[in-house]
Chains A and B, each alone.
Chain A
Amino acid sequence: MVGKTIKKWWPIFILPTLAAFIIGFLWPFIWGIYLSFCKFTTVQDVTFVGLSNYQKILLDSTFSHSFWLTVAFAFLSSLTINVLAFAIALALTKGFKGTNVFRTVFFMPNLIGGIVLGYIWQTLINGLLSKWGQPLLALSARNGFIGMLILLMWQQIGYMMIIYVAGLNNVSPDLIEAAQIDGATSGQILFKIKIPMIMPSVTICTFLTLTNGFKMFDQNLSLTGGDPGKQSQLLALNIYDTFYARSGAQWKGIGQAKAVVFFILVVAIALIQLKATSSKEVQQ
């Protein structure tokens, strides 16, 4: 009965979302790819220029700088976030008193938006740097990079921790008990049982942290704004900067072309990573 109704009425249920997806995502995406081959000021009034925008990316040294900076940032941040999130998740599944309070506290930062966090951390970090007599965030690319790393870790560890906690709770106590009876050490239990059993969580967490690292924009904008002189500018901010901050119509197309390159890059990395980690997942 229910199946029949759904068969008959499915378009009504799927259409609103589909329409929203096409209007809000698919069409802008296709149009955006076309724009990367154009010169324009407003997005409706364009002149086709072929591949020249893509050639100009190669000549733009800020793009390659922010590219390598972003690669370093994404890998470093996903490594630290996952290791720490997993460690905290392990600690918080031991059944201590007040575990839920800690879980909540660790998760909280994730509820605050990136722009706000950026400004708050800017004040905090600058206060500390000035106390230590170190150059402030806007003056040192190194401090800016570390600042962004700390900010992103603080924000995301709680979220990844929840995923790991859920994974760890699903590891059957029978398996662990059996291993203990067989005389396995706690290290062996961790590496031979727990980690293989939560590989799906690892997959999703590395996927999320890697892509978040690559896409990071608001925290970058508000914490360092790319200062000094674009030295702490990650790719997303570099694209935004090219599109909006430069005068002259040619820059819009170049910014758009950068965005397309950026898209291909993120998709490629996400696919490789998914394939690599999901192949390690085991069936329970």
Chain B
Amino acid sequence: MKMRKLTAMGLAAVMAASMVPAIPVMADDAAGKVYYLNFKPEQDEAWQNLSKAYTEETGVEVTVVTAASGQYETTLQSEMAKSDAPTLFQVNGPVGLKNWKDYCYDLKDSDIYSQLTSDSFTVKDGDAVDGIAYVIESYGLIVNKTLLEKAGYSLDDIKSFDQLKTVADDIQARKDELGIKGAFTSAGMDGSSDWRFKTHLANLPIYYEYKADGVEDTDAIKGTYLDNYKNVFDLYITDSTCDPAELSAKTADDSRNEFVNSEAVFYQNGSWEYGELSKTFADDELAMIPIYFGVDDENEGLATGTENFWCVNKNAAEEDIQATLDFINWCVTSEAGTKAMAEDMGFTIPFKTAQASSNIFVTQDAEYTAAGLIPVSWNFTTMPSEEWKNALGTALTGYAAGTGDWDAVVSAFVDNWATEKALSE
């Protein structure tokens, strides 16, 4: 009897103990520690290795946690509410900063800020430097040069939108002879892929409008260049590997697989795809050309910019903030740090001590710029909200499938811009 009672008590105690959250082993707090909530799942391993190297070198504890793809904002929200909140996190630009500006440490006097090559790689709230970009990326049309040559063309034949259309139309007409499914990979409008059109392609009309009007942001977009937007999108969905009505279900993987399997010649995406594509293609088989928009084609370069800004949590303990500042500065200045960022992560970083990346799309971007082309800046960081992008995506999907018309796209672009800008203030 006594034995049974003891057993019962023991079991109950174990159950009760399992309810109490594990108490973390206290580290030596005096030195400060770094907790980085990483946004890019594809670079998780590289960050883990880099943080380990940093700990070995300096003894400072660095934890890197990577949020699941598409879950960054949710993960950040719950992590920031914890007592051991991330000391280093990221926002995607001025719109993303709205949620987090009360949590951002002013980086104005930090070492890393002085290492930036240009002040434009920051997000600011008034005078305070809230975020610092740590990677520069480019996007455009990725070309399968082998297939292009097989079709009898070279990159020199494509220098404007009209030429692109001629070449693509011809390739599309001869697709069976060339053994491909279409000129462009499917412009998938599934959630995994629609950002290529509702965000990246939609950047071009915004870029040209801002440029023409001499502004950097606006509360009311006019949609001056929406006809060009329509032309490019029409080209994508007509000279495509699939029926436009099926696009709503096509994913990012579908599109990439079509390109990797040499079923299409052109693929709109960015320099971050290099890692995946280089598994199949040799460097001289790939090229990235600007998304010719029919506005200023002879001067248009790749769309180059960033939506990855590092922010330091100002509510963290003082020694943790200092440890974090030291860590990010080390990442972008030390030999080991810059090497890891250039080679393991394939990043071009906007800092004075950056090392050259082996990513050929990045190299190409530099060549275009050296040849006098003007990079298209990333203005989608000024898009009013996710909501705006989603509504535009829905309108585009409907237009592609024929269930909606282009007026709906125009309205989602222009009218909804004003509505959403007003709402987010």
Binding site for B on A (CB under 8 A): 5, 9, 12-13, 15-16, 19-20, 23, 41-45, 122-123, 126, 130, 133, 135-140, 225, 227-229, 244-249
- Give chain B residues whose Cβ lies under 8 Å from the Cβ of A45: 81
CB distance from B409 to the nearest CB of A (A): 12
Identify the closest chain B residue to A133 (Cβ).
Answer: B245
Can you list 10 A-B contacts with CB-CB less than 8 angstroms, sorted by A residue number? A16-B15, A20-B19, A41-B99, A139-B248, A228-B398, A245-B387, A247-B95, A248-B423, A248-B424, A249-B99
- B98 lies within 8 A of A248 (CB): yes
Residues from chain A with Cβ under 8 Å of B391 in the complex: 229
Interface hit among B54-62, B72-80, B123-131, B363-371: B72-80
Chain B positions 306 through 325: 1 when the CB is less than 8 Å from some CB of chain A, otherwise 0:
00000000000000000000
Contact B19 A246 (CB under 8 A): no
Contact of B16 with A135 in the complex, beta carbons under 8 Å:
no
Any A CB within 8 A of the CB of B216: no
B235-249, CB < 8 A from A: 245-246, 248-249
Which residue on A lies nearest to B91, using beta carbons?
Answer: A247
Closest to A122 in B: B249
**Chain A residues with CB under 8 A of B98:** 247-249
State whether A138 touches B248 (Cβ < 8 A).
yes
How far does the alpha carbon of A23 sit from the alpha carbon of B424 in the complex, in Å? Answer: 34
Interface pair B99/A247, CB less than 8 Å apart:
yes
B120 on the interface (CB 8 Å rule)?
A: no
Question: Closest 9 interchain pairs by CB?
Answer: A138-B248, A42-B81, A16-B15, A229-B394, A12-B12, A42-B80, A136-B248, A16-B16, A126-B249
Residues on A with beta carbons closer than 8 Å to the beta carbon of B100:
41
Query: DSSP class of B's interface residues: helix, strand, loop or mixed?
Result: helix
Determine whether B285 belongs to the interface, using a CB cutoff of 8 Å to chain A. Answer: no
Contact size class for B?
35 or more
Chain A residues within 8 Å of B155, by CB: none
Chain B contacts with A in 380-425, Cβ cutoff 8 A: 385-387, 390-391, 394-395, 397-398, 401, 403, 423-424
Further contacts, 8 of them, CB under 8 A, given A135-B401, A135-B403: A43-B81, A126-B249, A136-B245, A138-B249, A139-B397, A227-B394, A229-B390, A248-B385
Flag whether B103 is at the interface (Cβ < 8 A): yes
B375 interfacial by beta-carbon distance below 8 Å: no
With a 10 A CB-CB cut-off, give which of B102, B390, B391 has the most chain A CB atoms. B390
Q: In the complex the two chains form, what is the Cα distance from A43 to B80 in whole Å?
A: 9
Q: Which residues of B from 199 to 217 have beta carbons under 8 Å from A?
A: none
- Shortest C-beta distance, B1 to chain A (Å), equals 9
Residues of A within 8 A of B190 (CB): 138
Contact B77 A136 (CB under 8 A): no
In the assembled complex, the Cα of A249 lies from the Cα of B191 at a distance in Å of 24
